[in-house]
Amino acid sequence: MRKLLRDLLPNPHSIEQNRWLRPIAHWLRHPNLWHLHRRSVAGAVAVGLFCGLIPGPLQMLAAVLFVLWLRVNLPLALFTTLYTNPLTIVPLYLFAYEIGAWVIGAPHLTQLPPLPELNWLDWFNPLWQWLRALGKPLLIGLPILAISFAFLGYLLVRLGWRIVVVYRWRKRKSNNFSM
């Protein structure tokens, strides 16, 4: 898995050669931003899951800022933000609304505000107005859901990594004894 990801991900040298990224290349040189190890991968998944619920095109910008601050794998964090897309964002935001309504004791949605017509050129404003109609429960539920996703993602990656490592240790140990 690690070898496959290493082949698919860009390397720091290619980033430094990119003319658009050259002004910030010195921030992108830290080795943890590119290495795949337990802490870096788990942190990147947590950052991606957290930032994926940020509205609009700010997801990846926020993920980059968190990655630079926390020194976790950059490409994996950016890729993980893609779990929110036009098909998943509405159910996730409705789930966040329900969480927020439960926390503050607001009434649950009996009727969903009508989802606006979205087109490729003008999608942000109609979607923003729809989100504003959901109000305070959404503003409370989104951070709770984002933190929960990040925490669970971090724990699952750390646990999964540990299980794989222990399995490989035991397999190697049994292969050494059988020789």
Per residue in 125-137, pLDDT tens?
777 777 777 788 8
Q: What is the pTM of this model?
A: 0.77
Residue ranges, the chain, pLDDT below 50: none
DSSP state of 53: T
Q: What local confidence, expressed as pLDDT, does residue 176 receive?
A: 76
Q: Are 86 and 78 in contact (CB under 8 A)?
A: no
pLDDT the model gives residue 28: 74
